[in-house]
Amino acid sequence: MSTPRFESIRDIPLFADMAQESFDALTRGSYVQNFPPNMVMISEGETPDFLHIVQSGCVELFSTWSNRETSVTTLYENSTFILAATIKDQLILTSARTLQKSRIIMIPSENVRSVFKTDPEFAMAIVEELSRCYRATIKNMKNLKLRTSLERLANYLLKQHRRQGDVLEYQLPIEKRRLASYLGMTPENLSRAFNNLKPYGVAVDGQTITITDMATLVAFAKPDILID
């Protein structure tokens, strides 16, 4: 018996190859929920009862310690979160909040673990997704430790440029203060960093970024497939 409610996620890579029977078992007891912007869905330290998937909207993973907060990553359509905690059934390491109105699919962790054991295609997809997230985090850490804040910003702008279809003018997808936190700097410093990138071919007006001199920007940023 197929559950039409979840057919919209049937095509995402995590589920694309699995048997229909497994998919139905997985989504049994799952549900879809709409969240308003700026809503904390999960707090670090909790138990992972559900694997979460962003169907639409935008989610920030962040973490706090001793009155400080940092943005770990930003997730868009079809991204999963809480996957590693779900698999190991251990405490969740990062909190999650919506940045926009978002539609989130929640699959009981128990379902994920049991279907993992019976459906090799799903197991393969899980391990691919985990590897992808893991590698992304390693890249993130290399970015933080090997580059200055100005270099990180330059590479972030180049990456967005590519993600948005190689246009020279585009909108930042997130608020600057969150971008600052993601890049490991303060909002004040991000503001100055934008100014400092001006001679390297970047113009900023509000949320609008214009790359005015691609060659110079690339020469400064030195993007690297093993980081970006």
Partner DNA sequence: CGGTTCTTTGAGGACCATCAATACGCGTGG
Partner DNA sequence: CCACGCGTATTGATGGTCCTCAAAGAACCG
- Site residues, DNA (CB under 7 A): 148-150, 175-177, 184-195, 204, 206-207
- Shorter beta-carbon distance to its own copies: residue 7 or 69: 69
Among residues 82 and 99, whose Cβ is nearest to DNA? 99
User: How far apart (Å, rounded) are the C-alpha atoms in residues 97 and 157?
Assistant: 23
Taking alpha carbons only, the member of 40, 182, 165 closest to residue 102 is 40
Instruction: Compute the least distance from the CB of residue 211 to DNA, in Å.
Output: 16
Q: Classify residue 155 as exposed, middle or buried by CB count within 10 Å of its CB (0-12, 13-18, 19+).
A: buried
Q: Is 141 in the site for its own copies (CB under 8 A)?
A: yes
Does residue 120 touch its own copies according to CB under 8 A? yes
Question: Of the candidates 81, 116, 156, 200, which one interacts with its own copies according to CB under 8 A?
Answer: 116
- Two tokens at 103? 């539609």
Residue 19 near its own copies by CB under 8 A: no
Q: How far is the CB of 57 from its own copies (least distance, A)?
A: 22
Candidate ranges 3-11, 62-70, 98-106, 209-217; the one touching its own copies (CB under 8 A): 62-70
90, interface contact from its own copies, DNA, none, CB < 5-8 Å by kind: its own copies
**Which C-beta is closer to its own copies: that of 91 or that of 167?**
91
Q: Is 203 in the site for its own copies (CB under 8 A)?
A: no
Q: What does the alpha-carbon distance between residue 200 and residue 212 come to, in Å, rounded to a whole number?
A: 8
Q: Give 117: exposed, middle or buried? Use CB within 10 Å, 0-12, 13-18, 19+.
A: exposed
Q: Given candidates 12, 19, 130, 203, which one binds its own copies under the rule CB under 8 A?
A: 130
Smallest gap from residue 84 Cβ to DNA (A): 28
Which residues bind to its own copies, rule: CB under 8 A? 44-45, 63-66, 68-70, 72, 83-85, 87-88, 90-91, 93-94, 116-117, 120, 123-124, 126-128, 130-135, 137-142, 144-147, 184, 222, 224-227
